[in-house]
Structure 1
Amino acid sequence: TVYSITETAMLNGLKPYNYLTYVMEQMKDLSPFPEKEAMLELLPWSNSLPADCRSKLKK
């Protein structure tokens, strides 16, 4: 599962470590059953991810 998330992050032009760190930090503040919109913002293709998660190179 972690490998799949890492590869998906890389395919979406993200730095895997920064992305996973960001997602884990955000998820600890969510409720046990978060709203769909809150989860959509954490997906690797979301435009709302911070710049430090993004790589300069996109595959």
Structure 2
Amino acid sequence: MKILPHRAGDIYYVAQVKVTGPIEGALKGCRFWYRQGSQQYRQQLECSTVVSLGPP
């Protein structure tokens, strides 16, 4: 999926994280590692994630 620069996308994601300390506010910044062919990439995007604690 391509998203033009400085535009929003309609993609939602689900992630499982391990909380190792106190949570204050939202998680900010998203970092992705992926491979395309033989090349590896790392991409950092601006984002804000709300964390809900408790059973799924």
* Common fold by TM > 0.5: no
TM-score bin (small chain): under 0.3
Which has the larger Rg?
Answer: 2
TM-score by length of 1: 0.20
TM-score by length of 2: 0.21
Does 1 or 2 have the higher relative contact order (CA < 8 Å, sep 6+)? 1
